[in-house]
Amino acid sequence: MADPERFRAEMARTVAHDPYGFGSSSVCGERDRREATVGGAIVLYYVSGSVLTVTVVRMVALS
């Protein structure tokens, strides 16, 4: 990413507040496995409600 701080801020503003919202969609029919476009990148992440954690497992920058 060209500006990691901007990306982190965008993740905090969107996915961190509502991991199931902001245009995200489930992947392979799993509710907690999500994909969204955030800050110019496609982000694949997992949501763990039991420990209030969002784990990004893959990020692809859009050019």
pLDDT in tens, 8-33: 899 899 988 899 998 899 999 999 99
Q: b/e map of 25-50 (b: 16 or more CB within 10 Å)?
A: eeeeeeeeebebebbebebebebeee
**Is the Cβ–Cβ distance between 41 and 63 less than 8 Å?**
no
Domain assignment of residue 15, given as a range:
4-61
Q: What is the pTM of this model?
A: 0.77
Using 50, 70 and 90 to split pLDDT, how confident is the model at 1?
low
Report the number of distinct structural domains present in the chain: 1
pLDDT at 61 over 80: no
